Amino acid sequence: MTEPERDETQTPQPQALEQNPAQPSETEDESQVEELDADRIETVLDAVDAGDAEAVAAALEPLHPADISDLLEQISSHERKALLTLYPEGIDGDVLSELDEGVREEVIEAMPREALAEAVRELDTDDVVDILEDLEDHDQAFILDALERDDRVAVESSLAWPEYSAGRLMQSETVSVPQDWTVGQTIDHLRSADWLPDQFYHVILVDERHRPTGNATLGRVLAAKRNVPLSDITEEIFVTIEATEEEAEVARLFNKYHLISSPVVDGAGRLVGVITIDDAMVVLDEEHEEDMLRMAGVGDESSLSDGVWDTVRQRLPWLAVNLVTANIAAAVIGLFEGTIAVLVALAALMPIVASMGGNAGTQSLTVAVRALATRDLTESNAARVVRRELLVGLVNGLCFAVVMGGVAWALYGRDIWLGVVIGAALVINLVVAALGGVLVPLLLNRLKLDPALASGTFVTTLTDVVGFFAFLGLATLVLL
């Protein structure tokens, strides 16, 4: 291994992409972030194959940490190890922050300890917390030891808040000033500070007990005269967040109220940190992903970089639940074996009734799960929404009853009564589907369970059972 010699010249500068403003503006395009593409990945992998550390470094250098992280996630575990061995300096703290949990653990294990220590030291405390949460104890201890004392204290107190809480999401570094200061005092204070957070958007006003009482945007601080009291220019919307609040709720509040940054307070109302919108946006994105994956019966931690066994472990449980419910539907059909033996065409037609119900139920369910997540569906309008779904199910059911009744009569013959039976079964099943699609998530929500969790399985079981029972039951009554 020959990397050490190149340490000086090859130090990765993935963030140093800004235009050098002294240069003429023709370089404008190169100042932009270069997003990862297939060519770049190929270049890197070729260099890794060739064992050419310099070429790897040259190919990675213009990339943003988020893209280096994407690259690491998209290549195979084998290629990742080879890359890390050739060029461990490529992984700085920002790259670690961006990595998926599974890949991150692998990368951290593979990194030289000194490089790891240096990588975490450059991060804000919220990012360190994010990395630490998922690690084994011995890695956690190593990283905590690597931090400077103040940072370690901040990280440890953040870790003391519950998982997925605002306390874990916040950064402890805040910019706060006494609420009776003027703009001038504030600016002088900021100028003389020997350290400020990487990104901050508000000056937080606090009272004598360090409780936040207002938020002043930097724009207004900059634009105001020096003798203006800070309290005259605070934001009209002021939302503080309890450190114990769930992060999903934090994301919802940021999105709803268009917050940019919000102070986080402890039980006594004292300022303990600040959450910024970019972190809230990441949470919002993850929450959506969770909802989608849960509705589909996929473990909500699933990621594209998981291996076969992890993936099987995530998906098998819900398939097992589905096997049970499918057997219930099969038992319903079993009740009518005598009918099917007499009229085998029923066996071909019955899945149509079940399938239409399953689709209609999924439509209704998806709208309801989404509306519950955004709090658009509440106790106040639940009755009206249920009534609407009922009517929609009825109208759709009647439409398809006419069409499918005609098709069944034409294709499967016998007499018009086969068409009537399948039409009636469709109306029943589409009404049940529409109601089930909204009532199942409402019920789960009332039980304080996640409405997205497995609603899909419940609703399709319902529509399968009702569809088979209605169709075969009516057929037994009418056609035999």
Q: How far is the CB of 243 from a second copy (least distance, A)?
A: 15
Q: How far is the CB of 120 from a second copy (least distance, A)?
A: 18
Q: How far is the CB of 113 from a second copy (least distance, A)?
A: 27
Nearer to a second copy, 296 or 420 (CB): 296
Nearer to a second copy, 74 or 157 (CB): 74
How close are the terminal C-alpha atoms of the chain, in Å? 82
Q: How far is the CB of 102 from a second copy (least distance, A)?
A: 13
Nearer to a second copy, 90 or 456 (CB): 456
Nearer to a second copy, 159 or 277 (CB): 277
Nearer to a second copy, 16 or 477 (CB): 16
Q: How far is the CB of 104 from a second copy (least distance, A)?
A: 14
Among the listed residues 359, 439, 434, 358, the one whose alpha carbon sits nearest the alpha carbon of residue 390: 434
Residue 455 contacts residue 444 (beta carbons within 8 Å): yes
Nearer to a second copy, 4 or 21 (CB): 21
Q: How far is the CB of 225 from a second copy (least distance, A)?
A: 7
Nearer to a second copy, 85 or 355 (CB): 355
Q: How far is the CB of 40 from a second copy (least distance, A)?
A: 9
